[in-house]
Structure 1
Amino acid sequence: MERNLDIRLLRTFVMVSETGTVSRAADRLARTQAAVSMQLQRLELDLNAKLLLRSPKGVTLTDAGETFLAYARKTIALGEDMRRQLEGRKLSGRVRLGMVEDLAVTRLPSVIADFRRRHPSVEIELTSSNSADLAKILYDERADIVVADPARCTVTPSSYLSRQLIWCASRMMELEDGADLPLIIFEGSCAWQDKMLSVLAEKGIKWYSGCRVSSFAALISGLRAGLGVGLLLPEGLPSDCHNLQGQFNLPTAPIAEFGVYVSRNPPLLVQELAAFLRAGF
């Protein structure tokens, strides 16, 4: 006899897949690691499929896990949307949203488009900047929601978003095994870059600066021109570049973490968009 999937299991699976480790997911969910592990085992048993590969460094998704993750996110979002509709919460008004450029030009457009389809009376004012500037406009009450690097903000976020990064380079770029790796280096502070250099050092991979950039647009240009290897969110990978994971002895790319920050005493509209962003990402 087939059983319906428990929504709590879906939420746990999504959190583990986004954070990359059972321990970190357990902290975010305020549960024990043992409880999270048991939920994952139950989910795989219910589906009769292996969703995660476990290692001392964390977990990675299998092909079945990648497929199921998309369905899990949609199911969670639909359930939340149904609850809003049944409760008669018709949203309207304006939300000032600030977001780091990497997300604003990759994953955000489809998420916001989906939100606007469900709530056409909502007006969204979007600002894209670096994390330090976003933290300032939130503090100055010039933004209602900010998604930024937690390492560059002084307050605790209301929630987190975690995304797996990928190594990438131009398809025209020729790299030799064992040769020093040309990197695209971001000028200024960047948590992604700090993690990138750390994992390369752990692996003993030598590198040099192939290109220095100061914006996401410049990073994309440097990649496409074949000036070096960089880190991107999967959604931001240009068609003339490719994922280098598993090649040239590269270690697993780090995970990017973003904090979702909301204004003090947020109205319902702000709370709903913040929740929608968490589900959509």
Structure 2
Amino acid sequence: MFEPELLKAFITVVETGGFSKAAERLNSTQSTVSYQIKRLETQAGRTFINRTTRSISLTEDGEVFKGYAEKFLRLVDDAKQHFGAPKLEGTVRFGASDDFATYCLPELLARFRRIHPEVTLSVEIGISRNLVDRLHDGDFDLVLGKRALGDDGGELVFREKMNWVAAHDYEFNPKEPIQLAVFPQPCIYRATALEALGNAGLPWHIVYTCPSLSGVRAAALSGFAITPLASDFVSPDLRVLPNSPVLPEMPEIEFAVYWGKGGDSPAARAFGDLIKSDSGGLQQIFRLAA
């Protein structure tokens, strides 16, 4: 069995990109972290990290082991929270935007269920602004959704760069307006993209509208149109289009937790705290799934 402190040292080295930075984060020394990694590799009988004087990189075995280590440490943390947290009951009504639900939600729900098995979760997926409006009407206890950069509603969880995304073989037709695939209104991706195009004085035409992330991505994959997406949703079968006179630069977009009238319940607060405390893990899940 691999020791949790060795796994933590390994993940920290990967996240920080070096032994010295990992030692700083762990409040340890570089030699100690290096020794821990050597012990881990000796126990596994494999080499996980390629070391040079200037950088590190993961071996093929290291890439595989990273996934196992992250899952194991998450389970250890869940067990600590389960046995250390007070027993909670009740129902949490949660709304989430479709993009978040597509990638992060299964892992998040599984973690919360392991920690608080007696709490019932009621989940609905939709467009962020619609969910937040319904939150104010009392339909949800909390919502995780997108907001424009600079908006002060909700509590920031993390932010991502927006990009213009298309199929690898997509080519612009200079004789036509920019062909767009977007979510229906009111969508922050859509509003932000149209504002950027309008400010740049560029013509555009919405040729595809779909309420699901999978549908919008399908339109981009087909070469039918381009679409605005956050960086973590750009899978290898899509490409980020470079900024050019044809396309303006896109801003960042933020994911935030919004609290409703029922958000003060211990169960709802615990669920929201899990989302906020695991923001780095959520982004890793995005990247692994995309």
Asked if TM exceeds 0.5, the reply is yes
Q: Residue type of the partner of 1:270?
A: A
Partner of 1:168: 165
Structure 2: distance between partners of 1:177 and 1:89: 62
Structure 2: distance between partners of 1:276 and 1:168: 31
Q: Residue type of the partner of 2:132?
A: A
Structure 2: distance between partners of 1:142 and 1:205: 40
| 1:169 CA drift (Å) | 1.2
1:191 counterpart (185, 188, 196): 188
Structure 2: distance between partners of 1:268 and 1:103: 24
Q: Residue type of the partner of 1:97?
A: F
| 1:165 CA drift (Å) | 3.3
Deviations 1:231-269 (A, max 9, x none): 224554466x31225476756543221321123362221
- Aligned residue for 1:173, secondary structure, equals coil
1:273 counterpart (251, 268, 271): 271
Partner of 1:127: 124
Deviations 1:138-187 (A, max 9, x none): 22322111123446xx9832444323334321234334799964332444
Residues 232 and 261 of structure 1, relative CA distance in 2, 3 Å threshold: same
Contact 1:92 1:122 (C-alpha < 8 Å) held by counterparts: yes
| 1:104 CA drift (Å) | 1.7
2:238 counterpart (218, 242, 259): 242
Aligned-residue identity in percent: 21
- Structure 2: 5+ residue runs without aligned partners? 1-11, 34-56, 283-290
Residues 182 and 266 of structure 1, relative CA distance in 2, 3 Å threshold: same
Residues 140 and 259 of structure 1, relative CA distance in 2, 3 Å threshold: same
- Aligned residue for 2:158, secondary structure, equals strand
- Structure 1: 5+ residue runs without aligned partners? 1-9, 15-38, 48-62
Partner of 2:141: 144
Deviations 1:56-95 (A, max 9, x none): xxxxxxx99xx9xx9xx99997897576346342344321
Any residues of structure 2 matched to 1:1-281 within 5 Å, and which? 81=78, 84-85=81-82, 87-150=84-147, 156-175=153-172, 181-199=178-196, 206-209=202-205, 211-217=207-213, 218-237=215-234, 241-246=237-242, 253-264=250-261, 266-278=264-276, 279=278, 280-281=281-282
- Aligned residue for 1:116, secondary structure, equals helix
Instruction: Specify the structure having the higher radius of gyration (Cα).
Output: 2
Residues 197 and 257 of structure 1, relative CA distance in 2, 3 Å threshold: same
Q: Kindly report the root-mean-square deviation, in angstroms, between the aligned alpha carbons of the 2 structures.
A: 4.9
